[in-house]
């Protein structure tokens, strides 16, 4: 989701979908998914992409992004993420920021609040060589949200949603299981000390 759009009506719509979802599935090939980001990680990303944006605007976006998970967890949706291994091995910001971010993800995984699977780097190609996407299972049906630089686009058409549900399943099949994935996160944390 574009940081310039993060406080827009479109972003508020995504927040509403997150809060009422029974299940959220998300794939991200290059970053920790926004729902799981700690403030310093978010701030690093936003500052890098938003040159010249006033710091108060950046802080408003960081605050909005950081509060998302707290708003979602009380509703106890199933949260399932798949990421490429580079997401946990590339240092965003500095070693302290990345360690804090990975410790947060590891805590969420250990508590059972989220499931996260990592696709290993040694897979030369896989079905997820695409943009990030989220699938929301809502009381009113399933919605697909494809991200891009300008925020993204949502779809309800069954054909598109089913296609991406199949893609998410294929990504899960390519990824390490959750237990092996948490071991990779723990290894990455230890390498940042």
Q: What is the pLDDT of residue 64?
A: 86
For range 41-68, the mean pLDDT: 88
| Max mean pLDDT range (40-49, 66-75, 174-183) | 174-183
3-state secondary structure of 53: coil
Q: What is the pTM of this model?
A: 0.90
Say how many Å lie between the first and final Cα of the chain, rounded.
31
**Could you tell me the pLDDT band of residue 128, with boundaries at 50, 70 and 90?**
confident
Give the CATH number, domain containing residue 21. 3.30.870.10
Nearest to 36 by CA among 1, 96, 79: 79
Number of independent structural domains in the chain:
1
Q: How far apart are CA 117 and CA 13, in angstroms?
A: 27
Q: How far apart are CA 113 and CA 110, in angstroms?
A: 8
């Amino acid at each position: 989701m574009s940081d310039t759009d993060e406080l827009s009506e479109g972003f508020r719509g995504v927040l509403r979908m997150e809060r009422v979802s029974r299940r959220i599935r998300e794939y991200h090939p290059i970053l920790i998914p926004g729902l799981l980001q700690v403030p310093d990680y978010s701030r690093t990303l936003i500052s890098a992409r938003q040159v010249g944006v006033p710091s108060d605007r950046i802080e408003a976006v960081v605050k909005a992004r950081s509060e998302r998970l707290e708003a979602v967890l009380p509703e106890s949706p199933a949260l399932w993420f798949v990421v490429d291994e580079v997401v946990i091995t590339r240092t965003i910001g500095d070693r302290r920021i990345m360690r804090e971010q990975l410790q947060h993800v590891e805590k969420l995984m250990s508590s059972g609040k989220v499931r996260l699977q990592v696709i290993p780097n040694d897979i030369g190609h896989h079905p997820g060589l695409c943009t990030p996407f989220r699938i929301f299972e809502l009381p009113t049906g399933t919605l697909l949200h494809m991200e891009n630089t300008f925020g993204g686009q949502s779809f309800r058409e069954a054909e598109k949603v089913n296609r991406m549900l199949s893609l998410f399943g294929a990504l899960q099949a390519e990824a390490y299981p959750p237990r092996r994935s948490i071991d990779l996160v723990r290894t990455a944390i230890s390498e940042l000390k």
